[in-house]
Amino acid sequence: MTTRPARSAVLTGMRDCIPFTLVIMPFALLFGVLSNEAGWDLLQTFFMSVVVIAGASQFAALQLLQENAHFLVIVLTGLAVNLRMAMYSASIAQHLGGAPLWQRAIAAYGLTDQTYGITINRFTMFPETPTPQKMAYFFGAMAVICPTWYALSLVGAVAGQAIPPEYALDFAAPITFIALFAPALRSLPHVAAALVSIVISLLFAWLPYNLWMLLAAALAMGTGALLEYRLERRRG
C-alpha cells in the first residue's frame, strides 16, 4: 500500500462528508445552547462532546439530567439510543476488520451516524477496495465530522441566548437522519424496523424520562433481526 492511494482515500472521505456539516453545525450549536441554558460551563460541554460524541445520546442525557432522573435511567437511555452503534460496528467490521487494532480503536471512537452512513455506502459500492484504503477513507470522514461537532458545540455554548429562537436549530436532527438513512432502507427488515420504531415512539411518547426510546429501540431491533432471520431461513 503506497502513500498516494491512502492520501487520495483520505481526501475523498473528507470531500464526501463536507455536505453533512451543513446539518451537523446547527445540531452541534443547539447542544451547546441547551447545555449553556442548563448551567453547564464550557469545559463540561466540550468534555461531553469529545467523550460521548453522540448527539442523540447527549441531548437525551442533558434532558434527563435537567429532570433529575435517576442515574440508571440516564445511563440506560444513553445506551438504548446508542445501541445502533453496535449494529453499525457489526456491519462495518466486514470491511475494516482486517486493519490493525489501533486503527480499529480509533475508528470505533469516530463511528457516528454520519461517518457510518457515508463509509458504508462507499464500501458497498466498491467492496474490492483494499482495507488500508477503506480505513483511510473512514479517517477522512472522521477528520471532517468530529472536529466540526467539537467546535460548534463550544460555539453554541458561548453564543447561548444570543442565537435567536426563530432560527429553529432543532430541525437539524431529523434532517440528518433522513438524509443519511432513507436511501439505505432497501430491504424489508430495514423498513420494518423503521416502521416499528416510528409507531412505538408515537404510541408511547407519554412515558416519562424518554423511556419510549428504550422500548422503541428494543422492539425495532427485534423486529428487524427476526425478519432477517426468517428471510435467511427461507432463502436457505
Render pLDDT for 171-192 as a digit per residue (tens, 0 to 9).
555 655 565 556 567 678 878 8
pLDDT digits (tens, 9 = 90+) for 203-224: 998 887 667 777 887 888 888 8
pLDDT (0 to 100) of residue 173: 55
Mean per-residue pLDDT for 78-87?
80
Contact of 119 with 184, CB cutoff 8 Å = no
Task: Enumerate the domain spans of the chain.
Answer: 3-165, 185-236
pLDDT (0 to 100) of residue 182: 64
Distance CA 65, CA 110 (A): 25
pLDDT (0 to 100) of residue 62: 83
pLDDT digits (tens, 9 = 90+) for 7-49: 899 999 999 999 888 878 888 888 888 888 788 888 999 999 9
What region, left, alpha or beta, does residue 37 occupy, with left being phi > 0 and alpha being psi -120 to 50 degrees?
alpha
CA of residue 173 relative to chain centroid, distance: 10
pLDDT (0 to 100) of residue 135: 96
pLDDT digits (tens, 9 = 90+) for 150-169: 999 999 888 866 666 656 55
CA of residue 27 relative to chain centroid, distance: 12
Distance CA 24, CA 19 (A): 9
pLDDT (0 to 100) of residue 132: 93
pLDDT (0 to 100) of residue 66: 78
pLDDT digits (tens, 9 = 90+) for 110-147: 999 889 989 998 998 898 999 999 999 999 999 999 99
pLDDT (0 to 100) of residue 172: 54
pTM of the model: 0.72
pLDDT (0 to 100) of residue 1: 46
Q: H-helix or E-strand containing 156?
A: helix 131-159
pLDDT (0 to 100) of residue 165: 60
